[in-house]
Each structure stands twice: as C-alpha cells, then as structure tokens.
C-alpha cells in the first residue's frame, strides 16, 4: 500500500526506505498505546494519512535542503521525508516534550543523521542557520504559521502550509495580510490521497523580495 501510494506521486521507494517506515509505524503504534501521539491508529491510515501525505512534499523540496517542521507532533511530515531524502537537514519543533522524546527515539532506532528534534515553542526558536523550507501540517491558520516561519527562512526560502481542502480559500483570504508581512502566496497545489480520496492542499508562500 505504501509503495503504491508513493508511486501515485512519482516516488519510488527502496526496500530500505520501506523497512524504515515500517519500523517507524511499529514504534508509533507501540508508543501510542501508552501516550497519546496521534488519533490515526490503523495501519492503512498511518500509511496513507501520515506517510504518503508527508512524502508528497518530496516533489517540492530540494534533496539537501535545510528544513524546519513546526508543530511536528509524532514527526509529520519531517520523519517520513527524512527517511526518503537522507541528505535533508531537519529541525523538528514541537511544544510537547513527550512527542519530541518519541521523535528522538525513532531517529536513533532508524539512524537518522542530520535530524534534530527540539522541544519548545516555535516562536522562541533561534536557529544558527536559516531554512530553505519551513513546513507545517495541521498546525495553525496560515497567517499565524507564516508569522512564525518568516524569521526562520532564508530570503529565497519557502513556507509550505499543508492543509486539507480549505487551503486555496484560506490562502485567498490571507493574501492581503501576507502582503503586508512582505510575503506572497506563490502557488497552491491540490491533490487527493490515494485509496481514500481525501482532499489535501499545499500552500506555498515566499518573500516578496526573496
Ligand atoms: N504536524 C503533526 C501532524 O500533522 O501529525 C502534528 C499536528 S498537531 C495537530 C499540532 C502540533 O503542534 C502539536 O503536536 C502541538 O504540540 C504543536 N504545537 C502547537 N503550538 C505550537 C508552538 N507554538 N510551537 C511548537 N509546537 C506547537
């Protein structure tokens, strides 16, 4: 299911990547029995709603990008992405410590180098290096997210808000305020998740001067 789902978006997964994602799913289910990491619990939902949904970003982020994931929860989208794009340099931020401890455990088990999980609020993040891409999924409204992400990205970097079907309409409403912040919506990509057909959208935001 995972390989077919990824192939729908032109992504060929290696045996090693599938093994790592399977290990991640196993850990997620194990930890979820004790602590509440995610409401998505069945194998099919983990594969489609968490893994494939996260992997779609691989089409839009360059292989060795510096990526910040804000409000990453149990590691989405950053961990699946890092598994299939090993040269990515990832900073994953979440305000809930147990989620970050879980992510560090997964990173150690899988052997993810260049992956840092940071416990704290994104507003307080002061990275040494600016990001090529700042992403979030199911995190906040576009304006709040863009306000946090702006200071974390390179002038030519991009902000990617992973949304449901409401993405285009929300982006349209946010446009004016984004412009006042020196930002602009550069694209909205819409797609459906394989097998279940749920609508998703990616809202791309860039600096007006970048
Ligand atoms: N991105 C993950 C996903 O798609 O499964 C998790 C989404 S969850 C709905 C939102 C996450 O944002 C939570 O894990 C929460 O702890 C985190 N969060 C909320 N406000 C935050 C903040 N200001 N800084 C960092 N993390 C925050």
- 28 CA to centre of ligand 1 in angstroms: 16
Name the residue range of residue 61's domain.
1-207
* Confidence band of 210 (pLDDT split at 50, 70, 90): low
CB distance 35 to ligand 1 below 6 Å? no
At residue 40, the pLDDT reads 82
At residue 128, the pLDDT reads 83
CB distance 99 to ligand 1 below 6 Å? yes
At residue 207, the pLDDT reads 96
**Which residues pair with residue 161 across a beta bridge?**
136, 203
At residue 53, the pLDDT reads 97
At residue 86, the pLDDT reads 97
pLDDT tens for 116-150 read 999 999 999 988 889 999 999 999 999 999 999 99
Do residues 210 and 186 lie in contact, with contact meaning Cβ atoms separated by under 8 Å? Answer: no
- 180 CA to centre of ligand 1 in angstroms: 26
What one-character-per-residue DSSP string does 42-67 give?
SHHHIIIIIIIHHHGGGGTS-TT-EE
Give the CATH number for residue 2: 3.40.50.150
Structural domain total, the chain: 1
Give how far Cα 141 sits from Cα of 2, 8, 105, 159, Å. Answer: 29, 28, 29, 13
**What predicted TM-score, i.e. pTM, was given to this entire model?**
0.97
At residue 39, the pLDDT reads 86
CB distance 24 to ligand 1 below 6 Å? no
DSSP assigned state of 13: P
Percent with pLDDT over 70 in the chain: 100
CB distance 95 to ligand 1 below 6 Å? yes
The DSSP bridge pattern shows strands 199-207 and 66-70 to be: unpaired
- 139 CA to centre of ligand 1 in angstroms: 5
pLDDT tens for 70-79 read 999 999 999 9
pLDDT tens for 99-108 read 999 999 999 9
């Amino acid at each position: 299911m995972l390989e077919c789902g990824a192939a729908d978006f032109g992504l060929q997964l290696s045996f090693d990547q599938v093994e790592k994602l399977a290990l991640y799913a196993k850990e997620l289910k194990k930890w979820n029995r004790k602590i509440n990491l995610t409401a998505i619990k069945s194998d099919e939902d983990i594969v489609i709603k968490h893994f494939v949904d996260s992997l779609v970003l691989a089409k839009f982020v360059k292989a060795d990008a510096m990526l910040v994931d804000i409000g990453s929860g149990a590691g989405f989208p950053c961990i699946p992405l890092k598994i299939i794009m090993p040269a990515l340099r990832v900073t994953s931020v979440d305000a809930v410590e147990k989620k970050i401890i879980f992510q560090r455990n997964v990173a150690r088990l899988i052997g993810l180098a260049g992956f840092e999980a940071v416990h704290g609020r994104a507003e307080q993040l002061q990275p040494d290096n600016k990001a090529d891409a700042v992403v979030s999924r199911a995190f906040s409204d576009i304006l709040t997210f863009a306000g946090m992400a702006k200071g974390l990205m390179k002038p030519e970097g991009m902000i990617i808000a992973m949304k449901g079907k409401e993405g285009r309409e929300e982006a349209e409403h946010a446009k004016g305020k984004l412009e006042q912040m020196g930002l602009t919506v550069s694209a909205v990509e819409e797609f459906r998740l394989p097998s279940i057909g749920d609508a998703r959208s990616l809202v791309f935001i860039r600096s007006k001067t970048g």
